[in-house]
Amino acid sequence: MPKMKSKSGAKKRFKPTGSGKLKRKKAFKSHILTKKSSKRKRNLTQTTLVHEADEKAVKKMLPYS
């Protein structure tokens, strides 16, 4: 059987943690930053975990992580 391929978009966006959960970056930090407050931009910099409901789908995109 051939190797399974990872989705290259998902490879760039998600990283597994030590416990097997998935880390992701927050959205809305790329442009139109002038109207957003400093506090909001600072909070968007932090990473967070993928929601439980989406975790199965994302793990399917990353078979080798």
Per-residue pLDDT tens digits for 13-55: 999 999 999 999 999 999 999 999 999 999 999 999 999 999 9
Delineate the domains of the chain, giving CATH numbers in brackets.
Answer: 8-61 (4.10.410.60)
Residue among 12, 20, 6, 9 nearest 50 (CA): 20
CB within 8 Å of 61: residues ≥ 6 apart: 6, 7, 10, 14
- Biggest alpha carbon–alpha carbon distance for the chain: 52
pTM of the model: 0.84
Q: How far apart are CA 63 and CA 3, in angstroms?
A: 10
Q: Is 25 helix (H, G, I), strand (E, B) or coil?
A: strand
